[in-house]
Amino acid sequence: MTSAVGVGEKVRGLTSPNPWVGCVVLGSDGTQYFGATSPAGGLHAERHALNFAGVAAQGATLFSTLEPCDHQGSTSSCAEAIIEAGVAEVVIGVEDPDERVRGRGVERLCQAGIEVRVGIFADEIEEQLKPYLHHRQTGLPYVVAKMAASLDGRTAAPDGSSQWITSAEARADAHLLRACSDAVIVGAGTVRADNPRLTVRDWQPEDVTRFWSEQASSEVRQPRRIVLGEVPSDAAVQPCESWMGSLPELLEKLGAEGVLQVLVEGGASTIGEFARAGLINRYVIYAAPAVFGGDDGKPLISGAGARTIEDVTRGRFVNVERLGTDVRLEIEIYDAARCR
């Protein structure tokens, strides 16, 4: 299962709206055969691993990070393919909350006399598949707010200059975060001030075609770019989508369109709006070893905040990592509104 988790992580940023699932078939010949879910329209991880295994799948044990599907979509049922291949045992990380699956894959395998175990490395896999699981459970995208700041919480100098607070390693990691998101949201003020492109440029996936038994594109997906407010026709972010409605309505729309993860990149007032509405599920903050030394620099979040300590939004650190000269802090929020 450790290998299956690793394979799934390697295709993250390539498969959405499909989940980034990894699979390993421990063949009857003692060899491990790997598979990962293809981009939308392609085969699921289990089918790839079975194709690589061939006759070695007879009597084998199959490890999958997510419950195999048992419905006919753009590909045939993975559960049926497992049964037809003669697999003897299936080990599953987490059940799939998708209403078309939700235990049906496990039930179908058990009916066929296959031994099934569920919950192996469940905590790690739930963390890995968090945006997908959240979307299937709530119908809403998982919202990540990304910020880069000095140690005293400033994102720019009083004159607005900010390039570059963080290191090249941190900026490359931020592009990976974009690649793993289906949509990027910024305010119109950020577009006017910084004229960002909001594309994935500083990250390239490794060759993952060895996990796919059919030809599929491993090119980087560019996220949808959404601007809150009017956008100049010559802005670098074009082509983009302009949104004038409420934030909850936007998230509902994106969720209905299959967007699994949204990345809110700024500015401070936009992140403040999301925060006050309780819509942020996770913060990713790149902290640089720099100090502005005053209170006149641009803050991480602007607008009215918590009035008392009891109103402070709280969460838990899920990752702390050194990137070049910087530190990446990842915080999951406990009580994001509508996301419980």
Structure tokens at 34: 């790997």
Instruction: Give me the residue label for tokens 């969460």.
Output: 315
Per-position DSSP letters for 154-189, written without gaps between them: EEE-TTS--TTSS-HHHHHHHHHHHHT-SEEEEEHH
Structure tokens at 135: 């979307």
Instruction: Give me the residue label for tokens 């509405």.
Output: 277
From CA 267, how far away is CA 130, in angstroms rounded?
25
Burial 14-40 (b: 16+ CB within 10 A, else e): bbbebbbbbbbbbbbeeeebbbbbbbe
Per the document, the length of the chain is 340
Could you say which of 46, 67, 80, 95 is catalytic? Answer: 46
Facing residues of 63 across strands? Answer: 24, 91
From CA 98, how far away is CA 257, in angstroms rounded?
15
Structure tokens at 21: 């699932």
Instruction: Give me the residue label for tokens 């697999």.
Output: 87
Residues 6+ apart with CB under 8 A from 35: 7, 22, 23, 24, 25, 45, 46, 47, 48, 49, 50, 51, 52, 211, 212, 213
From CA 14, how far away is CA 233, in angstroms rounded?
30
Q: Is 241 one of the annotated active-site residues of the chain?
A: no
Per DSSP, the three-state class of 207 is coil
Cis status, amide bond into 97, omega within 30 of 0: no
Structure tokens at 156: 């720019």
Q: Which residues are catalytic?
A: 46
